[in-house]
């Protein structure tokens, strides 16, 4: 028994062999090399910076040379994120695409009858504005028209003119009558010359009878009407009074421009004066302008977006403010825009003008035939001022698309160009933008 115990003890206390020690040393050396390489690699990639001064960067821990704070290690670069199709949609600019679950609709292709409303004013017909010119140059000895809008009747004496040319023509006629009375051809030619210079048949007959040269010749009005000055303009409907709005247009700016123009024209008309005694006139110069008050017309302003639906011959209902409506026909559509306005002017010539007066306001309703077109609810169209857009759904996202609109009726807007009936469109475009968004359209 003693021998066995001694054998076990000797086995336990026996020192490690050289081979075992070598293995342990090799393992320890490998672990040390791996740790050193990891530390070296970590140290080579780690960078330290100051929280208060990001410009300070160091490759090892330490203190900030500016403020003395401990440098902190920057976050190591993470693995690149893979951009999938869904992630790309979310990262796109919000002014180019919108991700939303808003309800979508499709444009309806149908015919919608519209009743357009317009406002206008009664004005005189410019086709019946007459001019009274002088046929001979000279000096006005007397003028019988003293103020603007003075009533004139046909045959009324309006001025007396002194002209050396007229005096010479009279003397030629009297000379022929006295020395060559048988020369009818020359005498008739002299009378014709006087008539071309503005002498009436009565004046020529008086000259032949009295055989006395007249120093002045009277000028008579060939028309009945009211005297208007050269800068007096016919009243026209103000753009600010027109019903309805036009997309992309500022009504206040239109009204301001119209008011300024009216003020300028009023100033000019005050500065202009009628011809007075002593004024010299040249051959062909206009003495006075006369307008016929019995020839009136109605001018209406219609927004440009609705002008394409109105043509010559369109039936119209006029309300003169007395509660009675009269029917008329649009006889002229202005083919161009006046500077500073985005309205088309319509001209209506009423049959009865006895109860109308210049400057009277008129309301009108136009019956427009139903036309087949694409229609959308008003809330589906976003008005950006110069452009109108809708949001079309493509591949799960909503993208803005520029469109061209037409008339508006029954809470709907006519779409002229930009979309098709198969496009899915956001039902309410107002939900897809905020107050600071700038929508980009192609």
Tell me the three-class secondary structure of the chain, residue by residue: CHHHHHHHHHHHCCCCCHHHHHHHHHHHHHHHHHHHHHHHHHHHHCCEECCCCCCCEECCCCECCCCCCECEECCCCCCCCCCCHHHHHHHCCCCCCECCCCCEECCEEEEEEEEEEEEEEEEECHHHEEEEECCCCEEEEEECCCCCCCEECCCCEEEEEECHHHHHHHHHHHHHHHHCCCCHHHHHHHHHHHHHCCCCHHHHHHHHHHCCCCCEEEEECCCCEEEECCCCCCCCCCHHHCCCCCCCCCHHHHHHHHHHHHHHHHHHHHHCCCCCCCCEECCCCEEEEEECCCCEEEEEEEEHHHHHHCCCCCEEEEECCCCCEEEEEEEEECCCCCCCCCEEEEEECCCCCCCCCCCCEEEEEEEEEEEEEEEEEHHHCEECCCCEEEEEEECCEEEEEEEEEEEEECCEEEEEECCCCCCCEECCHHHHCCCCCCCCCC
Residues 323 and 403 in one domain: yes
Same domain, 173 and 109: no
- Tell whether 424 is covered by a domain: yes
The verdict on residue 303 lying in a domain is yes
Boundaries of domain holding 148:
127-240
Query: Is the domain of 232 the same as that of 146?
Result: yes
Residues 193 and 236 in one domain: yes
CATH number of the domain within which 306 lies:
2.40.30.170
Pair (418, 322) in one structural domain: yes
Q: Do 112 and 153 fall into the same domain?
A: no
- State whether 110 and 163 are in the same domain: no
Q: Do both 212 and 332 map to the same domain?
A: no
156 and 114 housed in the same domain: no
Is 342 part of any domain?
Answer: yes
Q: Is 326 part of any domain?
A: yes
Decide if 347 is inside a domain: yes
**Do 115 and 188 lie in a common domain?**
no
Q: pLDDT 10s digit of each residue in the chain, 442 long?
A: 444 444 444 444 445 566 667 666 767 666 666 555 555 554 456 788 888 888 888 888 889 888 888 888 876 654 555 556 555 555 555 556 666 667 888 887 777 666 777 888 888 888 888 888 888 899 999 999 988 888 999 989 999 999 999 889 999 999 898 888 888 899 999 999 988 888 888 888 888 888 888 888 888 898 888 888 766 666 666 544 333 443 334 334 344 444 444 444 443 443 357 888 889 999 888 889 898 877 888 888 887 767 667 777 778 888 877 777 788 888 888 777 766 667 778 888 887 777 777 888 888 887 766 667 788 888 888 887 778 888 888 877 778 888 888 777 777 888 888 888 888 888 887 777 754 455 666 5
Q: Is residue 38 part of a domain?
A: no
pTM of the model: 0.48
Together in a domain, 219 and 300? no
């Amino acid at each position: 028994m003693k021998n066995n115990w001694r054998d076990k003890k000797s086995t336990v206390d026996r020192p490690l062999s050289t081979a075992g020690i070598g293995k342990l040393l090799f393992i320890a050396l490998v672990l040390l090399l791996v740790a050193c390489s990891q530390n070296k690699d970590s140290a080579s990639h780690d960078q330290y910076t100051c929280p208060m001064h990001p410009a300070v960067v160091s490759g090892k821990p330490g203190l900030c040379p500016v403020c003395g704070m401990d440098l902190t290690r920057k976050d190591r670069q993470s693995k690149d994120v893979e951009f999938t199709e869904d992630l790309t949609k979310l990262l796109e600019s919000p002014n180019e695409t919108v991700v939303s679950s808003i309800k979508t609709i499709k444009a309806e292709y149908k015919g919608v009858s519209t009743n357009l409303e317009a406002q206008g004013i009664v004005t005189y017909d410019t086709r019946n504005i007459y001019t009274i010119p002088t046929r001979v140059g000279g000096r006005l000895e007397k003028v019988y028209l003293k103020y603007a809008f003075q009533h004139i009747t046909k045959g009324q004496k309006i001025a007396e003119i002194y002209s050396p040319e007229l005096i010479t023509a009279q003397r030629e006629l009297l000379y022929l009558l006295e020395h060559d009375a048988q020369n009818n051809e020359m005498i008739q030619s002299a009378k014709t010359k006087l008539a071309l210079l503005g002498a009436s048949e009565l004046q020529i007959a008086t000259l032949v009878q009295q055989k006395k040269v007249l120093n002045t010749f009277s000028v008579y009005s060939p028309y009945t009407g009211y005297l208007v000055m050269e800068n007096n303009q016919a009243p026209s409907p103000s753009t600010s009074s027109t019903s309805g709005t036009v997309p992309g247009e500022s009504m206040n700016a239109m009204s301001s421009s119209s008011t300024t123009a009216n003020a300028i024209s009023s100033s000019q008309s005050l500065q202009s004066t009628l011809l007075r005694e002593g004024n010299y006139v040249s051959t062909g110069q206009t003495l006075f302008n006369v307008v016929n008050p019995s020839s009136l017309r109605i001018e209406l302003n219609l927004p440009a977006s609705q002008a394409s639906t109105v043509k010559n011959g369109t039936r119209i209902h006029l309300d003169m403010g007395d509660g009675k409506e009269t029917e008329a026909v649009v006889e002229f559509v202005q083919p161009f825009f006046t500077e500073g306005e985005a309205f088309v002017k319509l001209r209506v010539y009423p049959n009865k003008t006895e109860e109308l007066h210049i400057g009277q306001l008129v309301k009108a309703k136009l019956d427009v035939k139903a036309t087949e077109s694409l229609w959308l609810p008003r809330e589906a169209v976003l008005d950006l001022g110069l452009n109108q857009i809708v949001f079309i759904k493509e591949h799960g996202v909503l993208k803005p698309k520029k469109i061209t609109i037409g008339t508006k009726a029954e809470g709907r807007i006519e779409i002229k160009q930009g979309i098709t009936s198969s496009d899915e469109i956001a039902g309410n475009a107002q939900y897809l933008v905020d107050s600071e968004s700038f929508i980009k359209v192609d």
